[in-house]
Amino acid sequence: QHPRRRGPGRALGAGSGSTGWGGIYATLIAAGHRASDLGRYTERQLKLYYREALRLERQRSARRLADVNAAFAGGDAARQRLKQLTD
The Cα 33–Cα 27 span in angstroms is 9
Mean pLDDT of 52-71: 93
pLDDT-derived band of residue 7, with 50, 70 and 90 as boundaries?
Answer: very low
Output 4 or 66, whichever has higher pLDDT. 66
Distances (CA, A) of 44 to 3, 13, 38, 47, 75: 9, 13, 12, 5, 48
Indicate if the pLDDT at residue 48 is higher than 60.
yes
